[in-house]
Amino acid sequence: MTERSVIHSTFVIERTYDASPALVFAAFADPAAHDRWFVKNQDWPIAEYRHDFRVGGQEAGRFSPDGTTMVHNETLYQDIVPDRRIIFATTMAIGDARLSASLAVIELEPAGAGTRFVYTEHAAFLDGRDNPAGREAGCRALFDSLEAELRRGT
């Protein structure tokens, strides 16, 4: 039998973006903008992707970092307050092996002419297949891509 384990972790990433909360929110809500910074930011082959940004909506994708390993990401949007808050639950897997399950909260607050962006993730990493440091690093890289998208003028 495979060894079973759970590592619980919470991490917070804070950024200040030189864009209004409405523009930051639009980078999540607008399918074309979201596609640029979230889906295609690493040029991984994409087998499937859908994005239904509404409370109860689902986002799901199958991506391959190396052309053979298939990473599955499934997200369910729990709460959305335009220009203020996004809450979602996500699971990740490689093939049939579940990597993690998490709840994430994005808070957007006006900060002068920009936005204070606070991302909090509460995660359970399963059976040694993923880890908190790797997830946090991945999120930081995604939020760098978000910043580049905002500079484009979403």
Instruction: Look at residue 54 and tell me if it is in a domain.
Output: no
pLDDT band at 62 (very low <50, low <70, confident <90, very high): confident
Domain count, the chain: 1
Instruction: Look at residue 106 and tell me if it is in a domain.
Output: yes
> pLDDT digits over 128-144, tens only?
888 999 999 999 999 99
> pLDDT digits over 39-60, tens only?
776 666 677 888 999 999 999 9
Dihedral (C-alpha) 37, 32, 103, 101: value to the nearest 10 degrees? -80
DSSP assignment, residue 55? T
Instruction: Look at residue 83 and tell me if it is in a domain.
Output: yes
Instruction: Look at residue 105 and tell me if it is in a domain.
Output: yes
CATH number of the domain at 119, please.
3.30.530.20
Instruction: Look at residue 140 and tell me if it is in a domain.
Output: yes
| Intra-chain end-to-end CA distance of the chain, in Å | 49
Q: What is the mean pLDDT of the chain?
A: 91
The tokens for 15 are: 């950024």
Instruction: Look at residue 72 and tell me if it is in a domain.
Output: no
The domain of 111 spans 6-43+77-152
Crossing angle of helices 132-152 and 21-29, rounded to 10°: 110
Instruction: Look at residue 133 and tell me if it is in a domain.
Output: yes
pLDDT score of 3: 79
* Highest mean pLDDT out of 2-6, 36-40, 85-89, 135-139: 85-89
- Contact between residue 24 and residue 143 where contact means Cβ atoms under 8 Å apart: no
